[in-house]
Amino acid sequence: MAIVSMTENDLLATHHTPRVPSEPGRLLTVHEVAQFLKVPVSWVYERTRRRSQNRIPGFRLGKYWRFDEAEVREWLEGQKA
């Protein structure tokens, strides 16, 4: 009988539950926000546009978008109400 050792990435891939570790003041990329919310990256970009009604709180660093993890979590809780 063989013992199979799975890495954390293997487990995540198997269960399809990407994790975004929580750290105080952590900045997330567009891809990390999409992974956290389980939506396409294009959906996140759409929610950063000024004309979007429920904008995700974020800011630009040059050409890159960054999101404060705590603010994204608060925004998400507000979407549930």
pLDDT confidence of residue 19: 54
Provide CATH code, domain 21-80: 1.10.1660
Q: How do residues 5-63 score in pLDDT, each as one tens digit?
A: 545 445 444 444 445 556 668 999 999 999 999 999 999 999 999 888 889 999 999 99
pLDDT confidence of residue 15: 46
**Long-range contacts, stretch 32-41, CB < 8 angstroms, 24+ apart:** 32/67, 33/58, 33/67, 33/72, 36/72, 37/76
- Give the residue-averaged pLDDT of 70-77: 95
> Residue 43 in 3-state DSSP?
helix
**How is the chain split into domains, by residue range?**
21-80
Query: Confidence band (pLDDT; 50, 70, 90) for 3?
Result: low
The region that residue 16 occupies, defined by phi over 0 for left and psi between -120 and 50 for alpha, beta otherwise, is left
